[in-house]
């Protein structure tokens, strides 16, 4: 109501100013930020008009009832004059929203929390959004039939929280597209006996009156899909690996299988650092739950999440994502091969360095698959549909493209490209076009035909 009156008044000012031939009025009116960051594969994900610099989330979770209570404080910066904006939020009840301390009007529409501002926010200015909310979180089901988001585990075991590609909105109001990266403070209160594990460093932990509170801090920018706050009756191990604090949380049912593999984490991190440049983050670790039904692991920043005890290849894969995906993040989901192709290629290199097949042999083996194989079902540089995001080509053909690149430019240029890629885009974003341009400039070669063939051509390329 107030807003409509305001707009009407503003329109009058415009009309009068127009008659007088004056420039725009001194008070900017602003328009509503776009609903969605403009990604063709997930049009509603993310929000136009703002950048979230920091999230402070305070959560309380009851594994028995699966009830989540939350307070989210978003420190944001306007990227246009704003009369309102949307946040991503799926399910859950919103009790109250304030902007800079003032209660504001809001609406719910699909996976959106729509906020209307009484007083517009001007382009470039900082503002604070606080949302009180709660309810029973449910994961979203994606086009490929898998689900992501806050996933309660059977019985009162706790929850597995993995948000790729759009599940962050199932547990906190967010700018959920990877184009926006933010730092995080995540505080979670759970019944005594449970541990809540998030990203980054555990600042404090205390138990009183039957409840335990865990305060986590992630100091490096993070895409919302990489945030987690998993809850379980974990077996926790904390140790230092050189200067890196390591925190692993493992469901006791997976401990026997997990411990031996997780013991290798420091070795995997230092081996990958030698290939990809310094480990990007100030902490490391793992979260291992006990629920094969989930069917995937996720490279949650600093502390990957596994649905069961990982094998060594999976550990190598999720650890490689810390460079490729987490530190250097995609700007459009169609670039997913920059995550999955690289993490798969890390597995190939690890295997080769430990007595397995060479990447060249793996390339040849895969290339021998018939043209009807799903390996050739879409070009990894342009999946075209959300349902294909995590299909075989994004992983295997993406890794094949990297081996083709390596053979075309030689080892020295190839490893130079990888290190410059992670250094130049550290804590930021990278696109396929930027990777192709960097590869061409480091190698001094025209690589357009190579990328056209391996990333963008439909079907099985006719020549390897
Ligand atoms: N990115 C995960 C990996 O390490 C896989 C993944 C995340 C996934 N979410 C998914 C796979 C949803 C299938 C469906 O490979
Ligand atoms: Zn992966």
**Predicted confidence (pLDDT) per residue in 362-390, tens digit:** 999 999 999 999 999 999 999 999 999 99
CATH of the domain at 220: 2.60.40.1730
| Same-domain check for residues 369 and 229 | no
**Looking at the domain assignment, is residue 269 inside a domain?**
no
Cα end-to-end span (Å), the chain: 64
Asked if 463 contacts 389 with a C-beta cutoff of 8 angstroms, the reply is no
Give the model's pLDDT for residue 464: 60
**Looking at the domain assignment, is residue 41 inside a domain?**
yes
Question: What does the alpha-carbon distance between residue 368 and residue 453 come to, in Å, rounded to a whole number?
Answer: 16
Among 66, 160, 47, smallest CA distance to 111 is for 47
List alpha helices for 245-288, DSSP H: 255-262, 265-276
Residue 4 has pLDDT above 70, yes or no: no
Segment 159-196, tens digit of pLDDT: 999 999 999 999 999 999 999 999 999 999 999 999 99
C-alpha neighbours within 13 Å on the C-beta side of residue 145: 3
Burial 96-135 (b: 16+ CB within 10 A, else e): ebebeeeebebeeeebbbbbbbbebbeeeeebebbbebbe
* Residue 146 CB less than 6 A away from ligand 1: yes
Q: What is the mean pLDDT of the chain?
A: 94
Q: Domain ends where: 210, 233, 256?
A: 233
pLDDT band at 27 (very low <50, low <70, confident <90, very high): low
| Same-domain check for residues 206 and 347 | no
CATH of the domain at 388: 1.10.390.10
Residue 148 has pLDDT above 70, yes or no: yes
Q: Distances in Å between the alpha carbon of 24 and those of 15, 29, 125, 163?
A: 10, 10, 19, 43
**Looking at the domain assignment, is residue 422 inside a domain?**
yes
| Same-domain check for residues 32 and 155 | yes
Give the model's pLDDT for residue 380: 98
Classified as helix, coil or strand, 325 is coil
Q: Domain ends where: 182, 210, 233?
A: 233
**Looking at the domain assignment, is residue 294 inside a domain?**
no
451: which residues sit within 8 A by CB, 6+ positions away?
381, 401, 432, 436, 439
pLDDT band at 5 (very low <50, low <70, confident <90, very high): very low
* Residue 296 CB less than 6 A away from ligand 1: yes
What total of structural domains would you count in the chain? 2
Residue 404 has pLDDT above 70, yes or no: yes
Q: Which domain holds residue 182?
A: 11-233
Segment 91-130, tens digit of pLDDT: 999 999 999 999 999 999 999 999 999 999 999 999 999 9
| Same-domain check for residues 201 and 338 | no
**Looking at the domain assignment, is residue 395 inside a domain?**
yes
Q: Which residue has the higher pLDDT, 400 or 29?
A: 400
| Same-domain check for residues 16 and 152 | yes
**Looking at the domain assignment, is residue 317 inside a domain?**
no
**Looking at the domain assignment, is residue 248 inside a domain?**
no
- Give me the mean pLDDT over the 436-464 stretch: 95
* Residue 299 CB less than 6 A away from ligand 1: yes
| Same-domain check for residues 224 and 82 | yes
* Residue 326 CB less than 6 A away from ligand 1: no
**Looking at the domain assignment, is residue 324 inside a domain?**
no
390 CA distance to ligand 1 middle (Å): 6
Q: What is the position in ligand 1's atom list of the atom closest to the CA of 314?
A: 4
Q: Domain ends where: 208, 233, 258?
A: 233
């Amino acid at each position: 109501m107030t807003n409509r009156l305001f707009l009407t008044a503003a329109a009058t000012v415009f009309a009068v100013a127009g008659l007088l031939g004056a420039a725009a009025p001194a008070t900017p009116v602003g328009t509503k930020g776009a609903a969605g960051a403009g990604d063709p594969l997930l049009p509603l994900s993310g929000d136009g008009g703002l950048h979230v610099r920091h999230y402070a989330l305070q959560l309380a979770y009851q594994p028995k009832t699966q009830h989540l209570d939350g307070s989210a404080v978003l420190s944001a910066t306007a990227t246009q004059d704003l009369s309102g904006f949307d946040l991503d939020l799926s399910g859950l009840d919103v009790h109250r929203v304030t902007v800079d301390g003032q209660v504001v009007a809001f609406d719910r529409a699909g996976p959106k929390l729509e906020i209307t501002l009484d007083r517009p926010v001007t382009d470039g200015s900082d503002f604070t959004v606080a949302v009180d909310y709660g309810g029973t979180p449910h994961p979203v089901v994606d086009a490929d039939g898998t689900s992501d988001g806050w996933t309660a585990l059977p019985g009162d075991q706790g929850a597995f929280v993995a948000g790729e590609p759009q599940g962050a909105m199932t547990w906190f109001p967010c700018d959920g597209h990877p184009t926006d990266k933010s730092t995080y403070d995540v505080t979670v209160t759970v019944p005594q006996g449970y541990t809540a594990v998030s990203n980054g460093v555990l600042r404090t932990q205390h138990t009183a009156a039957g409840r335990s509170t865990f305060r986590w801090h992630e100091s490096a920018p993070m895409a919302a899909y990489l945030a987690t706050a998993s809850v379980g009756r974990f077996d926790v191990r904390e140790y230092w690996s050189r200067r890196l604090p390591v925190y692993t949380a493992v469901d006791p049912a997976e401990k026997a299988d997990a411990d031996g593999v997780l013991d290798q984490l420091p070795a995997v991190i230092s081996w990958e650092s030698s290939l990809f440049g310094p480990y990007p983050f100030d902490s490391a670790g793992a979260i291992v739950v006990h629920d094969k039904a989930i069917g995937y692991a996720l490279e949650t920043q600093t502390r990957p999440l596994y649905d069961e005890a990982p094998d060594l290849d999976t550990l190598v894969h999720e650890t490689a994502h810390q460079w490729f995906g987490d530190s250097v993040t995609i700007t459009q989901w169609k670039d997913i091969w920059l995550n999955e192709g690289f993490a798969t290629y890390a597995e190939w290199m690890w295997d080769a360095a430990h007595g397995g097949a060479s990447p060249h042999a793996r390339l040849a083996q895969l290339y021998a698959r018939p043209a009807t194989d799903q390996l050739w079902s879409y070009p990894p540089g342009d999946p075209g549909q959300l349902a294909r995001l995590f299909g075989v080509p994004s992983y295997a053909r993406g890794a094949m493209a990297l081996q083709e690149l390596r053979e075309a430019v030689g080892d020295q240029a190839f490893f130079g490209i990888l290190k410059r890629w992670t250094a130049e885009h550290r804590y930021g974003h990278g696109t396929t076009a930027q990777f192709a341009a960097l590869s061409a400039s480091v190698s001094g070669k025209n690589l357009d035909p190579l990328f056209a063939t391996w990333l963008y051509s439909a079907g099985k390329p006719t020549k390897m």
